[in-house]
Amino acid sequence: MIAEILTIGDELLCGSRIDTNAAYIARRLDLLGLDVRYKSTAGDNLDLLEEAINLALRRVDIIIATGGLGPTDDDITKKVICKVFKRNLIFHEDVLAEIEKRFAARGVKMPSINQNQALLPQGAGFLPNRIGSALGIVIDEQGKFFCALPGVPNEVEIMVDEELAPLLAQRPGNRVIIRRVLRTTGIIESALAEIIRILPKIPDGVSLAYLPSYRGVDLALKGTGTVAKEVQAAVDTAAGNLRQAVAKYIYTEDDRELEEIVGELLVQQGKTLATAESCTGGLLGGRLTRTSGSSRYYRGGVVAYADEVKRERLGVPETIIAQNGAVSAETAEAMASGVREAIGADLGVAITGLAGPTGGTDDKPVGTTFIALATPAGLTSEKYILGRHREANRERAVTIALDMVRKALLGLS
């Protein structure tokens, strides 16, 4: 079955909002074996949204729309659904009661404008929304499945997982799609490709995509076919070849993040971690604590943005900073051992760098970053010259620090 994702809202077309919903929905549809062939965006304009829905109805079987179901005047999705599918809006007293109850539970009086949200297209199915006031709308007829979801990412995620995915999983005719992602870090895309292109050919029905980001390069295998066992075997063969060739860069083959892998290793080894951050300002701690349950291995850290904080809270000797600068291997190492001691953890990891965009010198250009690790066995540090883009540098530094911890825990050099 061929699917299209249609995201709705001027804020997406004018670029004031990044479209995270499309990726979330796409991933779930893909895992159901649907072929997401089109992704499009329409603004808050009656004619153009109508054009977009009609185009989608011509070219796909399944359309998942998101956005424009809110209570305000710029929310037009219901109007257009009524026009395209020739429906009227009907007032639902029970829906209104539900919305009122929700506001009451939060101790907030319902703004009367929210009454709009109890008006819904005649004869449609509805998907409950347990955290927001806009219901999902489903029209399933003449071989076309159309679903409109609200646009708030949190609501979309829950409604897709709990309502839409189970509904779509019941439909017959989905292909077998098997994906496997080998997530690598510490090597650039073209260097990976150089290694991989001398490997045996990838089996028919399997494709390989390189997905680079500041966190590493994902090697994404996708097998497509009709017999699950055959597709699985082909994907396994391809994954096995890749694994042999680039094993040392792969941190996981599950759909997990580097910080989860690090957390799992720490739990397995019964070790704890502390962080000392300068240029990343807390992002490494923020990344580690994305994982629920991270308190089992992450104790905390010090954000040592000012040099006095490095000295006073991490015990970095004044002479080290004076002689080598705050951005130096020596300072990074002193931060790592200092935080390990101050916080009382088995491992201490530290980042100090010039994130940019200004502040570089000939000697230490923007992007110069030192990452250090203190363990019971001793101290190590590495120097990296990252780029000129502040946020990219910060994200890359966090990733490198996590990978340094991972490698140390695995006994890799």
Residues 345-374 that bind its own copies (CB under 8 A): 355-358
Residue 324 amino acid letter: N
Cα 265-342-381 angle, rounded to 5 deg: 60
Instruction: Using alpha carbons, select from 329, 326, 336, 317 the residue that is nearest to residue 377.
Output: 336
Q: CA 66, CA 94: separation in Å to the nearest integer?
A: 23
Q: Which of 318, 322, 391, 412 binds its own copies (CB under 8 A)?
A: 391
Q: Which of 1, 27, 98, 329 binds its own copies (CB under 8 A)?
A: 27
Beta bridge partners of 145: 62, 140
Q: Which of 33, 125, 186, 281 binds its own copies (CB under 8 A)?
A: 281
Q: Which of 41, 224, 237, 380 binds its own copies (CB under 8 A)?
A: 41
- Do 34 and 174 touch, CB atoms closer than 8 A? yes
Interacting positions 79-118 with its own copies (CB under 8 A): 106, 108, 111-114
Q: CA 85, CA 155: separation in Å to the nearest integer?
A: 25
Q: Which stretch binds its own copies (CB under 8 A): 77-85, 226-234, 316-324, 337-345?
A: 337-345
H or E segment at 84?
A: helix 77-84
Phi-psi region of 3 (alpha: psi -120 to 50; beta: other; left: phi over 0): beta
What does DSSP say about strands 378-385 and 368-375: parallel, antiparallel, or unpaired? antiparallel
- Residue 267 near its own copies by CB under 8 A: no
Residue 74 or 141 with smaller CB distance to its own copies = 74
Q: Which string of DSSP letters, residue by residue, matches 157-170?
A: HHHIIIIIHHHHHT
Cα 329-261-152 angle, rounded to 5 deg: 105
Residue 71 or 203 with smaller CB distance to its own copies = 71
DSSP H stretches of helix in 111-222: 153-159, 165-169, 189-196
* DSSP letter assigned to residue 367: T
Q: Which stretch binds its own copies (CB under 8 A): 32-40, 86-94, 229-237, 262-270?
A: 32-40
Could you tell me the strand order of the sheet in which 206-213 lies?
206-213, 216-225, 176-184, 250-252
Instruction: Using alpha carbons, select from 327, 273, 319, 323 the residue that is nearest to residue 296.
Output: 273
- Residue 284 near its own copies by CB under 8 A: yes
For the CB of residue 363, give the shortest distance to its own copies in the complex, in Å: 16
Residue 30 or 230 with smaller CB distance to its own copies = 30
What does DSSP say about strands 35-42 and 2-8: parallel, antiparallel, or unpaired? parallel
Residue 86 or 109 with smaller CB distance to its own copies = 109
For the CB of residue 206, give the shortest distance to its own copies in the complex, in Å: 12
Q: Which of 1, 13, 82, 250 binds its own copies (CB under 8 A)?
A: 13
Strand runs labelled E in 60-122: 62-66, 89-91, 119-121
- Residue 58 near its own copies by CB under 8 A: no
Residue 97 or 410 with smaller CB distance to its own copies = 97
- Residue 344 near its own copies by CB under 8 A: yes
Residue 171 or 390 with smaller CB distance to its own copies = 390
Interacting positions 296-315 with its own copies (CB under 8 A): 298-306, 308-309, 312-313
Coil/strand/helix, residue 280: coil
For the CB of residue 393, give the shortest distance to its own copies in the complex, in Å: 10
For the CB of residue 67, give the shortest distance to its own copies in the complex, in Å: 11
Interacting positions 227-266 with its own copies (CB under 8 A): none
Phi and psi of 207, rounded to 5°? -120, 155
For the CB of residue 379, give the shortest distance to its own copies in the complex, in Å: 21
Q: CA 57, CA 146: separation in Å to the nearest integer?
A: 9
Size of the site for its own copies (CB under 8 A): 111
Q: Which stretch binds its own copies (CB under 8 A): 120-128, 262-270, 285-293, 400-408?
A: 285-293
User: Among all chains, which residue has been given the structure tokens 């319902």?
Assistant: 110
Q: Which stretch binds its own copies (CB under 8 A): 90-98, 163-171, 223-231, 389-397?
A: 389-397
For the CB of residue 380, give the shortest distance to its own copies in the complex, in Å: 21
Q: Which of 1, 39, 199, 317 binds its own copies (CB under 8 A)?
A: 39
Interacting positions 163-222 with its own copies (CB under 8 A): 179, 181, 188-191, 193-194, 197, 207-213, 218, 220, 222
Instruction: Using alpha carbons, select from 238, 241, 296 the residue that is nearest to residue 264.
Output: 296
Interacting positions 130-159 with its own copies (CB under 8 A): 131, 133, 152-154, 157
